[in-house]
Amino acid sequence: MKNDGLKGQHRINEQIRAKEVRIVGDENLESKVYPIFQALKMAEEKELDLVEISPNAVPPVCRIIDYSKFLYQLKKRQKEQKAKQIKVNVKEIRFGPQTDDHDYNFKLKHAKGFLEDGDKVKAYVFFKGRSILFKEQGEVLLLRFANDLEDYAKVEQMPALEGKRMIIFLSPKKKDIVKKPAAPKEVKAVKPKTEKVEEDNTADAE
């Protein structure tokens, strides 16, 4: 049988050890407790399975269902949930403690592109050797970086020193789509027909 990864998660039929169970989910039966032998007999008469849904309940909760179909639906639901999960990539941007404006603006442009694509940005200043003495300068640079990206990102983690790196995490802002109101249609003035009649009458009189 397929769904082997899910098979074995539930006790079914004779695997159920409780002396009595509560059956739910059957339209023809109200939720109530039955002796296990009676519950098994009811499932057999319907040519279905007795499946233990909540083993820790007292008594355990069971349903009378087609177990193969139940596993198929469960696997399908898991696939749908997995498909809905959005994978977020984290892009890294590295600075030196004394990054010049040209390099800074170049990396700022890249960060905007990453954030617009829905990626997170991990920006860090790498301190090499004695440059660790400039850690305050590195923090100022990262805060400036976050400020320049405030229209694109929110700060997920403020600058923090980890070993030889000072790191800041930025996540993309959700963009709200605002629909522009439709422009009012221009209504052309129409002269009443009475005016035309009056003009024609005048012309006839002349």
Domains, in order of start, for the chain? 13-82 (3.10.20.80), 90-172 (3.30.110.10)
Residue 196 in this model has a pLDDT that exceeds 50: no
Q: Which pLDDT score, from 0 to 100, does residue 145 have?
A: 94
Q: Which two tokens stand for residue 164?
A: 């030889």
More confident residue, 42 or 7: 42
More confident residue, 203 or 151: 151
pLDDT per position as a tens digit, 126-149: 988 776 677 888 889 999 999 999
Please calculate the CA angle 188-191-197 and round it to the nearest 5 degrees: 160
Alpha-carbon dihedral 17, 18, 21, 25, rounded to 10 degrees: -30
198: confidence class by pLDDT, cuts 50, 70, 90: very low
Q: Which two tokens stand for residue 168?
A: 């800041």
Amino acid making up residue 28 = N
Residue 161 in this model has a pLDDT that exceeds 70: yes
Q: Which pLDDT score, from 0 to 100, does residue 102 have?
A: 92
> Count of CB atoms within 10 A of residue 144's CB?
12
H or E element: which one contains 116? helix 101-116
How far is it, in rounded angstroms, from Cα 95 to Cα 126? 6
Residue 176 in this model has a pLDDT that exceeds 80: no
How far is it, in rounded angstroms, from Cα 121 to Cα 112? 9
Residue 179 in this model has a pLDDT that exceeds 80: no
| Structure-token match 């012309």, residue found | 203
| Structure-token match 């709200």, residue found | 176
pLDDT per position as a tens digit, 63-121: 998 988 988 888 888 888 877 766 778 999 999 888 889 999 999 999 999 999 889 99
Judged on CB neighbours under 10 Å (0-12, 13-18, 19+), 12 is middle
Q: Which pLDDT score, from 0 to 100, does residue 118 have?
A: 87
